[in-house]
Structure 1
Amino acid sequence: MNPYVLVILLSSLGLGTTITFASSNWLIAWMGLEINTMAILPLMAKHHHPRGVEATTKYFLTQATAAAMVLFAGMMNAWTTGQWDLNNLQPTTSTLMTAALALKIGLAPVHFWMPEVLQGLSLPTGLIMSTWQKLAPFSLILQVAPSTNPTLLTTLGVLSALIGGWGGLNQTQLRKILAYSSIAHMGWMIIVIQYMPQLTILTLTIYIIMTLTAFMTFNKLNTTKINTLSTAWTKDPTLTSLTTLTLLSLGGLPPLTGFMPKWLILQELSNQEMTLTATIIAMSALLSLYFYLRLLYSMTLTLHPSTNNHTMLWRTKKQHKLPLTISMVASMSLLPLTPMITTLML
């Protein structure tokens, strides 16, 4: 892709998200979401591969449906209240808006498009879709949540956590595994958004850091399937060792960073006397942990952990090491800073 075109598309992505962040009414927020969607479509289809074109078409249809629902809900609310204000939603329009935004970010039970779309994308584009594209809809969900039925949010969260865990169990494609991981993490965020929005923002930030590390690692190792992870040790033993810790952090094991948001969310749910909900999502985390352990098994136990004379360096992509290093350190070592982070954010 022409570098100037790439800069324009990435700038449009940032512009669309910024417009949604700064919007004070639903019409401007809808415009920001549309700019965001239109900017990523050429990035998704730039390889001119049939799977890429198919993924782009599915993504466009899904996002167009969600955008139409957002606009329809905003118009219904404006018809009822006489204004387009974000913070003045009626119960019916609030429910419809929550469903539309859930479709945009891939919450269960409207999650079916996400694994298929992510499977057809390259790893860098999949990274953008799994992280940056979540920001604008989440900013709107944060504003809609106070007026939304708590039962609806809890149901969406529990279903996403369970389906995100179950769906990834029998997958062999890394991009689909990361898609179901995203669905599960979104469920954890939605459950607590009605009680402590700051905790949702913290969870989203840590999720983005860990997902960034996973995508950059797989891109550097040039691997998209579980069976090709068995050669990762001969490509880069140090990176492979650190990747195992990153995957365990995604699974939420202590003493890694991923344990922090899960711990705080379970604590908040217990304070709200939602013991059963906390138990269900904690059990769903075990499902997610299983498919992360499958990746670890392929990386560390299916090939003898020693370098040989054929390191296959030609199969390793060259990229800047500093971003990967920073994100990897952050995804593994932020748990001791939990008291400071909670004081600043919560």
Structure 2
Amino acid sequence: MFNSSAKIMFFFILITGTMITVSSNSWLGAWMGLEINLLSFIPLMNNNNLMSTEASLKYFLTQALASAVLLFAIMMSYLSNFPIMQEISTYNNMIITSSLLLKSGAAPFHFWFPNVMEGLSWMNALILMTWQKIAPLMLISYIAQNYFIILVIITSTITGSLGGLNQTSLRKLMAFSSINHLGWMLAAMQASESMWLIYFSFYSFLSFSLTFMFNNFKMFHINQLFNSFFESKILKFMLFLNLLSLGGLPPFIGFLPKWLVIQMLVLKSQYILMTIMTVMTLITLFFYLRLCFAAFMLNYHENNWTINMFINNTSFKTMLILSFISTFSLILVSLVYLFL
């Protein structure tokens, strides 16, 4: 990813932009941070090929539109003190929330997200799925409007689950999974002020575990999953247990944040919302399981003498540690909770 010193510089500016937005005490300061973040991510996206150039152009156009709408809404909110503007000011929060949802890629403002993901390298895709969501979500948490956000949560979980059903590209699959998880993050925001940060941190860890593996083996499409891992069953198990953990299957750590959100929603008596979200998550689990079944059931030739090639590899050890945390952490956390 960092094949030049310029990219390292842009990466640090990207982090700075998010920090400015998060720590800002005015809407204009937050907008400025979002702009710095946007303009530093575009050079990182460009890998001197046609797809990444197209993706960076799409990303720039949608983010510029969202920024323009956000700036317009901020200016309107400053004018809301005048008597003539009182009626318009009631819609300001909704306009600001909509522009921030467009920036983060939540449904029904998600149209750009899978197409941009398709043109990125895995490391850039990871930044787009995780880091680029922090600033917009933090701003949404300040002004989240109840009924509008609930509508977005339902559309995001439905779009994220149904959109991933007919995908053959792993990057698009991860994009629709991200939209689904974004719905859960917004629901966590409704449930508790800090709950979405807990959910986000778990999601970021699981996304990193998967993208690290995909990047290491240069996987971009589903058929590559079936043709890979002749050498080691351990690698195959590691990948698919990580996938199931991201989907939120109970024995794995990916279930813990979902469990917490479901519990919070039940305590707030939001039963219908919780039911819709849980049913839609089962659909995402279905297409993850479909991947796992196909890869495990279709047996290919294996060369046993090539297994040792992986054991001493640093990246193999890293993947093993990440997969162990992803798979067994929930059991360890439950045991600690029982004994305490």
Same structural fold, with TM-score higher than 0.5 when normalized by the shorter chain? yes
Q: Distance in 2 between matches of 1:188 and 1:4?
A: 37
- Residue of structure 2 in register with 1:85 after alignment: none
* 1:1-346 map, 5 Å: 2-45=3-46, 47-81=47-81, 91-145=90-144, 149-304=145-300, 306-307=302-303, 320=315, 324-336=319-331
* Deviation of 1:192 (Å): 2.9
The alignment's TM-score, normalised by the length of structure 2, stands at: 0.89
* Deviation of 1:243 (Å): 1.3
**Which AA in structure 1 matches 2:277?**
I
Contact 1:218 1:224 survives alignment (8 Å): yes
State the SS of the aligned residue for 2:229: helix
Q: 1:81 to 1:305 in 2, by over 3 A?
A: farther
Unmatched segments (≥5 aa) in structure 2: 83-88
Identity %: 37
Q: Distance in 1 between matches of 2:209 and 2:264?
A: 27
How many residues align? The count is 328
* Deviation of 1:98 (Å): 0.7
Question: Once structures 1 and 2 are overlaid, which stretch shifts more, 154-163 or 270-279?
Answer: 270-279
Q: Distance in 1 between matches of 2:321 and 2:30?
A: 33
Question: Once structures 1 and 2 are overlaid, which stretch shifts more, 10-19 or 233-242?
Answer: 233-242
* Deviation of 1:276 (Å): 1.3
The alignment's TM-score, normalised by the length of structure 1, stands at: 0.88
Contact 1:164 1:180 survives alignment (8 Å): yes
Alignment root-mean-square deviation, CA? 2.5
**Which AA in structure 2 matches 1:50?**
L
* Deviation of 1:319 (Å): 7.1
**Which AA in structure 2 matches 1:180?**
F
Contact 2:20 2:30 survives alignment (8 Å): yes
* Deviation of 1:300 (Å): 2.0
**Which AA in structure 2 matches 1:141?**
I
Contact 1:108 1:160 survives alignment (8 Å): yes
* Deviation of 1:194 (Å): 2.3
Q: Distance in 1 between matches of 2:335 and 2:190?
A: 23
Contact 2:230 2:300 survives alignment (8 Å): no
Q: 1:192 to 1:2 in 2, by over 3 A?
A: closer
**Which AA in structure 2 matches 1:77?**
S
Q: Distance in 1 between matches of 2:130 and 2:54?
A: 21
* Deviation of 1:306 (Å): 4.1
Q: Distance in 2 between matches of 1:81 and 1:64?
A: 27
Q: 1:28 to 1:120 in 2, by over 3 A?
A: same
Q: 1:255 to 1:310 in 2, by over 3 A?
A: closer
* Deviation of 1:336 (Å): 3.8
**Which AA in structure 2 matches 1:75?**
M
**Which AA in structure 2 matches 1:23?**
S
- Residue of structure 1 in register with 2:85 after alignment: none
Q: Distance in 2 between matches of 1:81 and 1:277?
A: 36
Contact 2:162 2:283 survives alignment (8 Å): yes
**Which AA in structure 1 matches 2:222?**
I
After the TM superposition, which parts of structure 1 deviate over 6 Å for at least 4 consecutive aligned residues?
339-342
Contact 2:129 2:178 survives alignment (8 Å): yes
Q: Distance in 2 between matches of 1:163 and 1:324?
A: 30
Contact 2:246 2:254 survives alignment (8 Å): yes
Q: Distance in 2 between matches of 1:188 and 1:305?
A: 40
Q: Distance in 2 between matches of 1:2 and 1:231?
A: 30
**Which AA in structure 1 matches 2:124?**
T
Unmatched segments (≥5 aa) in structure 1: 83-89
Q: 1:187 to 1:57 in 2, by over 3 A?
A: same
Question: Once structures 1 and 2 are overlaid, which stretch shifts more, 230-239 or 271-280?
Answer: 230-239
Contact 1:109 1:156 survives alignment (8 Å): yes
State the SS of the aligned residue for 2:298: coil
Q: Distance in 2 between matches of 1:59 and 1:134?
A: 14
* Deviation of 1:297 (Å): 2.6
State the SS of the aligned residue for 1:234: coil
Q: Distance in 2 between matches of 1:140 and 1:269?
A: 22
Question: Once structures 1 and 2 are overlaid, which stretch shifts more, 231-240 or 48-57?
Answer: 231-240
Contact 2:11 2:44 survives alignment (8 Å): no
Q: Distance in 2 between matches of 1:73 and 1:319?
A: 50
* Deviation of 1:323 (Å): 5.2
